[in-house]
Structure 1
Amino acid sequence: KILIPLGKSMHFIYLVSCCLLPTWVRFAPTAGYSLGSCVAHGSLNYTNRLKVLCYSEQLRLVPSNIPPNVTVLDISDNLISRIQLENFRNLSNLRVLNVSRNLISRVAEGAFKHLVNLQELNMARNKLSVLSENIFEGLGNLTVLQLGDNNIKSVESTAFRFLLSIRFVNLTTNELQHLNKVRPILKFPHLQQLHVGNNSLFTFQTEDLSDFPLALKVLDLSWNPLTKLNVTTDILPKLESLDLSYSGTNGSEEWYIRDGFLLRDVKKLSLNGTNISEEVLFSVLQCLNSSLEVLTMSNLKHLKVKAFLNVTCQMLPLLRVFNLQGNSLGSLGDGLKPCSLLRDLDLSRNKLVQVADFVFKNMSQLHALNLSYNQLNAVPVAVRIITSLETLDLSYNSISELKSSDFAKMTMLKELYLVNNLIRDINGSAFQDLINLRSLRLGKNHIWMITYPMFLSLRKLVVLDLKSNQLSSLKNGTFQNLNSLKSLNLVDNQISEIEEGAFQGLLNLTTLLLGSNKITGDILRTGTVFSGMPALRELQLFDNFISYESTAKLKSPPFSLLKSLKTLSLNSQGHEGLLNLPSNFLEGLDSLIELHAGRLNINFLHPQTFSYTPKLSFLDISRNAIGNLTPQLFQPIPNLTEFILTQGRLQTLDFLIHANLTQVKILRAKGNELTVITESLIRSLPSVKYVDLRENSFSCDCDNSWFLKWALHDTYAQVIYMNTYFCKYPPNLRGMKLIDLKMDSCSVDLEFICFISSTTLVALTLLASFFYRFLRWQVVYAYYLFLAFLYDNRKKRRRPVLQYQYDAFVSYNTHDELWVLRELLPNLEQVQGWRLCLHHRDFEAGKPIIDNIVDSIYNSRKTICLISRHYLESEWCSREIQVASFRLFDEQKDVLILVFLEDIPACQLSPYHRMRKLVKKRTYLKWPGHREETRMFWHKLNIALQTRGEADEENPLLSGLDTQD
């Protein structure tokens, strides 16, 4: 027998407890990745890449479930009225925060103190009126502060003291009346841009702002009623841009610059709409004549601009960019002649009807000229003289004809804009000198035909825009000389005929836009309509009239020659739609990556449809009532990463389970009839990051419990706009948000079950170990007693009168076997004739010992226990007396005879509680110490063997025997 020491037993229990602890402690799930009204760009697993967008969602409070590792947070365009102290407590990684276009009127002091890494804060277009003392606490790394379009009237003197790294401050459109409110922020050495336009500033005096030079490079004072502007101290030595647009009070202003040296680095000056006198204007320009390079003087409606154009150019010898748009000049004489060094001139929106022929004669360095939004009916002759011109914009005029001489000698021109004119016919010779032209924009005209050789000389042309014209056909060889062309835009014409070879020669064309025309399936039937474009990467055929009667294979697939095509747009075909997609329609598109096939009115896709596009990664088949989508349809496109199935009347997405789309990252199935999203569906899309299932008919029951749990707690994928998912079934929950559904009754708490199971297992193991160590034989004994009980009941039913094989079973220890053979057997069997059962003689060989014991005791009328010290120490003797004791208890008959072969003190009987219990309750016989007393012993034993009746009916002959106390 092995005994486990107490110390080791405790160690065992400790180990069991340690094993149980992980299943008992229930950890809280990871913060959910479904952010309700917000959309996260990036993964929770990447600290420096997470961007959360919550704009335009009617939010009234700052969302509380923003991931702590977000770096960009946009909650603009909502209904938030206050910033609470705890709103951004856990967002220490935030670098950009946009809370613009809200109703914020109050910010708790210290609300930003945890944003120690914030670099940009946008609070524009709110209702702030006061910048309190500690409003910017903690923003020591902030570089950009946007506070425009508020109601700020008051700024505490220490409000900006935490902004040690600030570079850009925008306070435009507030109610500031004095610049001393922002004086503290000017002291910071890194501040480069200050915008205080559209306030109520009446004065700007450098002597009141600072006593030392500032680092400002850009100063915006526009839209202020400045009556006094005094620059008398040298505090702006680095200022490069000064905006005084729409300032002044129409003649009553006092603008004074003591010395031009004080603004020696100002290169850009904006005086748009300035309400000042000509005298003040000239004085300002005179002070900046040594440095000014860019001057904008738009919308000077109250000044006679023509009168001082000549003087302005003479006064500013370094002027390079001159913006005069919106001044209603009407005509242009020789006022710009002195502006010989200009590189960029903007004369748009001036109602120009005519331009003097030699107005630009001296502008030999002019590179860009903007004459758009005027009333010119022909290309001005003055333009032809500018041989240095690289960009010419004549858009939005009334030009109806292009002559061969219009662009003569303009060999340096690279960009020509003629958008939205009245051009109907184009003379091919109009562009003959534009040998370096890169971009030609002819959209929104009335061009009805392109004739050869219109583009003969444009061999370097890269972009040709002919959208929104009246082209009806494309003839063979139309574009054959445009070998460098990369983008051709023919959208929104009336093209119904494309001759074979129309695109011949476009060897470098990468983008062809043919949307919104009248192209039909017959045009594409030859299969060679798109020949001549080996490098084409994008083809748009949306909003045409392509249709097919069946899905049968085409003899000549239309795109078989476009081996390099990567993007194809077929969506929104006119009339009744595409109707059918031929099974080999996409044949030849081995490189296709992106396919737009939405709103085609197709209800079936052949299983071989995508077998020709193995590299497809984007697929849009939205707004099609395709009833039978099978997994086999999508198995040829395992690289699909974005799948759009919106508004397709789909009732299930289970076809995706075996579609092998393991690379899908974005799944959009908005506006269908989905009721249940299964676990197997989500598991089949292991790479999915964004799921959009809005406007579906969700069933709010346990079938969606797994999906709801996954949507809220998965840290990799995001179910966007989860708070807009509503229940449709059952009827009593219709209209309730899916996110509000309680799924406690649906979930099986595996952790708790494991805890209970493991606890029970360990407890049973401990109990089994305990019973095996201390009560093993009692259990065995009880088992056999139970069997005996069943056996006894069965015997009682079958045999009313018991028949015993033996008169007595003798239970003794082997050390007492000699006494049994010499004394017991001769007297009881030979003299008195009793039939005894002895284990060494009568046990059945090969039968288990315990079975022999039980059978022998129950096959004997009595059991004689010969008790000695050796008997008490014997394990098998203990089993025998246990069985006999149970028979005594079970049958309630006098079946047990105790015989003590030697004197045993009560103290030695104490450890043997069962024996002591029997001795205390029953009379027993004791082997006499003297020979003369043996006859009485055998006589009493003989009488005991003859006893019948109940156990409590003591035989009178035994009533005087000894008892143990």
Structure 2
Amino acid sequence: MVTIVSSFVWILMFRTCYNLCFPAKNDVVTNISSSSQSTVPKNLSNLTQILDLSENNIIGIHMQDFAFFHQLKSLNLSFNKIRNLAAATFRSNQELECLDLSMNELVNIECHFLLSVTSLKYLDISYNNFLSLTLGKAFSFLKDLEYLRLGSRKTIKLQKNDLEPISGKHLQEVSVGLKTLSEYEPGTLQVLRTAKLHIVLPSINYANLLERVMYDAFNISDTLKLSGIDCCQNCSEKLSNIDCCQYCSLITSSRGCCRHCNRYINSFKMLDKFSKVTNLSLQYLTLDWNAFESISEIIWSSMVKNLNIFNVKICQVTPFILGHLETTLKTFAVRQIDVVPFYVNQSVIYHFFDVIKAENLMVCESGMIFMTCPNKGNTYKLIDLSDNSVTSDFLFQDCQTLNSLETLILQQNKLGQLFEVSNMTKYMKTLKHLDVSQNQLILDEIRVCPWTNSLTKLNLSSNRLTDSVFTCLPSNVEVLDVQKNDIFSVPKMLNNLNMLKELYLGTNKLANLPDCSKFINLEILFVEANAFHEPSSSFLQSCQRLTVLNAASNPFTCTCNLRDFSRMKENTHIEMIGWPKSYRCAYPDNLKGTLLEDIHLSEVTCSTTLLLVIVLGSMIALTIVIGLMCHFLDLPWYLRMIWQWTQMKRRTMKTDSHQLSENLVYHAFVSYSQHDSSWVKEQLLPNLEEKGSPLRICLHERNFIPGKGIIENIINCIDKSYKSIFVLSPNFIQSEWCHYELYFAQHQVLNEQSDNLILIVLEPIPQYLIPSKYYKLKSLMAKKTYLEWPSDKNKQRLFWANLQATIGINLTAPSEEFFCVNTDQ
């Protein structure tokens, strides 16, 4: 009996659904697999198109379980405990195209429920409890059926009429599990019309059935897959901790437990030159090395062109000399070959691969640590040694027989030195594509690497290479992949890679985009997930032929330097991979996470020239406006007066009235020429004594004390006045007494170190008109700010405000008020 473990292995390995079973982009998917459901949930959306209920504990399906799923296209009920389905179960699911009922407990293979779903394209009912594989008439109504999986866990018989309902259908693929087959009528499988056939072979206990099944299988389709070749079945030894294959690897007898291999070898002898098979896959094999080589030799002598062997367990390895064969084999692929014996004569295995003459050789996931240089006459165009343990120390070194090799794949091995890898290729004159990704490659010193000149595509991704890798590259390379390394920058001093068209630098540590001046023909550039903030402004200028750029997932700094780059999608023909969702600001913090396309920096902010033009233009315009204002509105006068008023106010506020002399009686002593008396009486006195805060003004004609000398009165009035106002005009210059008053007032200023003089220019006085004896007046007018009497009435209000601010301070009220005025004699 077949164990449940082997059943699971088989069904999991070949549950390769047709593409329609996978959700399309806009399909509504509901996945409730592995959720311990015992019934179909009732709260599912009736818009569901893809429904997965696999790996649950569902026993029964009711009539209404799927009644509301009118748009259901794919239904997966595998790995449950379903025993029966009513004929009307899927009558509401007219759109159903994919149905998986494998690994359940169905007994009736009549499958009347199929009458309701005639649009099915994919149907899997393998590994149920069918007592036979006699298909019901319902299968004949599946007009669109393309993929069919059959099989049972129970012992079954197979006869010609069993598959009659599908005999006229041209299917894409049919899989039939015959592991439990107990009786077989020759020619039964040949009623099938399918492009691909998969057979799980019967147990070795039924050797005659094995030969009949394989004979029919070889004459049905050009693509055949055979599973379940096990020479170690029914091992006589009772083992507790290890399986038969492990036990066989320990005994010395070459025909130990794998004594049934000859039956399989004899069955393969029916694969003669008249069979239809050109593409053959053998999966899940357990046999000894001799049987493996014998079966391979038979296949090579047939019309098979592509041989794929997957998941092989070798129980014994004994010397077996395989001669050189002339074959028509195009592809020989071995994946997951497991040699169980720990100590093995490696030369036996290497000799096997040495004699193979195929165009494509693939030995993957098999623990290979070495591969010999093949003998002359090989026809290899492709060698794939991915997922092994190969090192570069001796692999194909000085190998001169790979004269036809075009593609060499050494992905995911243990290669260490890039120089050794380049040295390996120097005799491979036709090599175009080399893949050494996912290794441990380094370049420990900068030196010339002897690559073959024919190499155009090189994959060095996922290694430990640094910037120095650019000194060790083939000169004719067109496609270079150095993603996922430790590259910080592309050196500026490197040999020109004029042929390079595609460069992949993603997931490194680049601080800036590379300069394309060394890659003048570069068309595709990938620099995603690096560390650059602001792509250089010269990048676009140097990459004139670039058509595709992937710079996503970098920490962009969104400043003016990034403006041209962020507009690349709009302003160039370059296709931006990942735009816009994968291009976001990382700095500054206030823009972190913002899409680059949403950052709008103005032309003024980012253009120094434009900003300078605007600033200079504004300054020129302001200068013109100020000039016009100065010309028509006398703006300088207003500014000067406002400045004087501000300064005077500030000084007045700083003056402490308690610190003033107790002798002060008047706010100001006024000195003027008698010829200007009308202005003093009509303008000066009314504006200072009557308006605003009244001031006490000392005038000669009012406050000089009779009987005292004029000089004494002048000195007395100046001493008792806070300020001395001098009304300057050409008349003032001709007055001797005014000169005396000015002299005494200036003398007081020097003695007390105060600033009590106020000069009012009533009429302009040119310097050359002032006599030389008035040198003190000249000095004062040159050093001291004076007030000009404006003839414009609009300006006079500011003049009086300015004058009042100069002398507006609080004085103690005198016991006897008197006023003092001096006029020229």
TM-score after normalising by structure 2: 0.52
| Number of the residue aligned with 2:220 | 215
Please give the alpha-carbon distance, in whole angstroms, between the structure 2 residues aligned to 1:100 and 1:188.
24
The counterpart of 2:383, out of the listed 329, 345, 351, is 345
Q: Is the 8 A contact 1:180 1:209 kept in 2?
A: no
Asked if residue 504 in structure 1 is aligned to residue 507 in structure 2, the reply is no
Any stretches of 5+ residues in structure 1 without a counterpart?
1-33, 40-50, 551-572, 588-965
The counterpart of 1:86, out of the listed 85, 88, 112, is 88
Please give the alpha-carbon distance, in whole angstroms, between the structure 1 residues aligned to 2:277 and 2:120.
27
| Number of the residue aligned with 1:535 | 573
Residue by residue over 1:285-318, the C-alpha shift from the partner in whole angstroms, topping out at 9 and shown as x without a partner, is 97x853323222342424758414664356444x
| Number of the residue aligned with 2:352 | 312
| Number of the residue aligned with 2:529 | 492
Please give the alpha-carbon distance, in whole angstroms, between the structure 2 residues aligned to 1:280 and 1:146.
43
Distance 1:407 1:391, change over 3 A: farther
| Number of the residue aligned with 2:703 | none
SS at match of 1:147: strand
Distance 1:271 1:237, change over 3 A: same
Partner amino acid, structure 1, of 2:424: A
Please give the alpha-carbon distance, in whole angstroms, between the structure 1 residues aligned to 2:319 and 2:115.
47
Q: Is the 8 A contact 1:455 1:482 kept in 2?
A: no
Distance 1:472 1:104, change over 3 A: farther
Q: Is the 8 A contact 1:548 1:578 kept in 2?
A: no
Partner amino acid, structure 2, of 1:187: Q
| Number of the residue aligned with 2:664 | none
Please give the alpha-carbon distance, in whole angstroms, between the structure 2 residues aligned to 1:453 and 1:225.
61
Asked if residue 414 in structure 1 is aligned to residue 456 in structure 2, the reply is yes
Q: Is the 8 A contact 1:53 1:75 kept in 2?
A: no
| Number of the residue aligned with 1:578 | 594
Return the offset for 1:584.
4.5
The counterpart of 1:520, out of the listed 557, 577, 588, is 557
| Number of the residue aligned with 1:468 | 507
The root-mean-square deviation of aligned C-alpha atoms, in Å, is 4.6
Asked if residue 177 in structure 1 is aligned to residue 186 in structure 2, the reply is no
Asked if residue 297 in structure 1 is aligned to residue 302 in structure 2, the reply is no
| Number of the residue aligned with 1:133 | 134
Residue by residue over 1:435-473, the C-alpha shift from the partner in whole angstroms, topping out at 9 and shown as x without a partner, is 4x2x322111111111225583143413x2222211223
1:804-823 → structure 2 map (5 Å cutoff): none
Please give the alpha-carbon distance, in whole angstroms, between the structure 2 residues aligned to 1:485 and 1:148.
53
Q: Is the 8 A contact 2:476 2:499 kept in 1?
A: no
| Number of the residue aligned with 1:443 | 483
| Number of the residue aligned with 1:154 | 156
Return the offset for 1:206.
3.1
Please give the alpha-carbon distance, in whole angstroms, between the structure 1 residues aligned to 2:470 and 2:566.
25
Residue by residue over 1:178-207, the C-alpha shift from the partner in whole angstroms, topping out at 9 and shown as x without a partner, is 385696652225234322348755647434
Q: Is the 8 A contact 2:288 2:316 kept in 1?
A: yes
The counterpart of 1:392, out of the listed 434, 444, 447, is 434
Q: Is the 8 A contact 1:489 1:512 kept in 2?
A: yes
| Number of the residue aligned with 1:431 | 473
Return the offset for 1:399.
0.8
Please give the alpha-carbon distance, in whole angstroms, between the structure 2 residues aligned to 1:294 and 1:579.
49
Residue by residue over 1:625-652, the C-alpha shift from the partner in whole angstroms, topping out at 9 and shown as x without a partner, is xxxxxxxxxxxxxxxxxxxxxxxxxxxx
Please give the alpha-carbon distance, in whole angstroms, between the structure 2 residues aligned to 1:383 and 1:146.
47
The counterpart of 2:304, out of the listed 254, 258, 266, is 266
SS at match of 2:525: strand
Please give the alpha-carbon distance, in whole angstroms, between the structure 2 residues aligned to 1:338 and 1:131.
54
Return the offset for 1:162.
0.9
Distance 1:118 1:542, change over 3 A: closer
| Number of the residue aligned with 1:194 | 197
1:699-848 → structure 2 map (5 Å cutoff): none
Distance 1:548 1:185, change over 3 A: farther
| Number of the residue aligned with 1:697 | none
Distance 1:133 1:251, change over 3 A: same
The counterpart of 2:400, out of the listed 343, 357, 361, is 361
Any stretches of 5+ residues in structure 2 without a counterpart?
1-25, 32-46, 232-259, 604-825
Distance 1:388 1:138, change over 3 A: same
Please give the alpha-carbon distance, in whole angstroms, between the structure 1 residues aligned to 2:543 and 2:151.
51
Distance 1:360 1:127, change over 3 A: farther
Residue by residue over 1:409-450, the C-alpha shift from the partner in whole angstroms, topping out at 9 and shown as x without a partner, is 534333211111100123434335224x2x322111111111
Return the offset for 1:521.
1.2
| Number of the residue aligned with 1:63 | 66
SS at match of 2:347: helix
Higher relative contact order (CA 8 A, sep 6+): 1
Q: Is the 8 A contact 1:402 1:423 kept in 2?
A: no
Residue by residue over 1:68-119, the C-alpha shift from the partner in whole angstroms, topping out at 9 and shown as x without a partner, is 8x8x54546796835431134466676x424267857456632223544544
More deviation, 368-377/506-515: 506-515
Distance 1:363 1:419, change over 3 A: same
| Number of the residue aligned with 1:479 | 516
Return the offset for 1:372.
1.6
Please give the alpha-carbon distance, in whole angstroms, between the structure 1 residues aligned to 2:412 and 2:87.
52
1:625-636 → structure 2 map (5 Å cutoff): none
The counterpart of 2:49, out of the listed 32, 36, 53, is 53
Please give the alpha-carbon distance, in whole angstroms, between the structure 2 residues aligned to 1:271 and 1:258.
10
Residue by residue over 1:865-921, the C-alpha shift from the partner in whole angstroms, topping out at 9 and shown as x without a partner, is xxxxxxxxxxxxxxxxxxxxxxxxxxxxxxxxxxxxxxxxxxxxxxxxxxxxxxxxx
More deviation, 321-330/396-405: 396-405
Distance 1:487 1:130, change over 3 A: farther
SS at match of 1:160: helix
Q: Is the 8 A contact 2:584 2:594 kept in 1?
A: no
| Number of the residue aligned with 1:248 | 286
SS at match of 1:446: coil
| Number of the residue aligned with 1:912 | none
For these two proteins, the number of residue pairs brought into alignment is: 505
Distance 1:254 1:234, change over 3 A: closer
Partner amino acid, structure 1, of 2:501: L
Please give the alpha-carbon distance, in whole angstroms, between the structure 1 residues aligned to 2:382 and 2:158.
44
Distance 1:429 1:189, change over 3 A: same
Partner amino acid, structure 1, of 2:51: Y
1:867-946 → structure 2 map (5 Å cutoff): none
Distance 1:488 1:104, change over 3 A: farther
Distance 1:419 1:185, change over 3 A: farther
| Number of the residue aligned with 1:826 | none
SS at match of 1:187: helix
| Number of the residue aligned with 2:496 | 456
Q: Is the 8 A contact 2:29 2:50 kept in 1?
A: yes
Distance 1:199 1:466, change over 3 A: farther
Return the offset for 1:345.
0.7
Partner amino acid, structure 2, of 1:97: C
Please give the alpha-carbon distance, in whole angstroms, between the structure 2 residues aligned to 1:100 and 1:341.
46
**Structure showing the higher helix proportion among its residues:** 2
Partner amino acid, structure 2, of 1:85: A
SS at match of 2:542: coil
Distance 1:526 1:233, change over 3 A: closer
Distance 1:163 1:451, change over 3 A: same
SS at match of 1:470: coil
Asked if residue 112 in structure 1 is aligned to residue 114 in structure 2, the reply is yes
Residue by residue over 1:689-748, the C-alpha shift from the partner in whole angstroms, topping out at 9 and shown as x without a partner, is xxxxxxxxxxxxxxxxxxxxxxxxxxxxxxxxxxxxxxxxxxxxxxxxxxxxxxxxxxxx
Return the offset for 1:392.
0.7
- Share of identical aligned residues, percent? 13
TM-score after normalising by structure 1: 0.45
Please give the alpha-carbon distance, in whole angstroms, between the structure 1 residues aligned to 2:150 and 2:372.
41
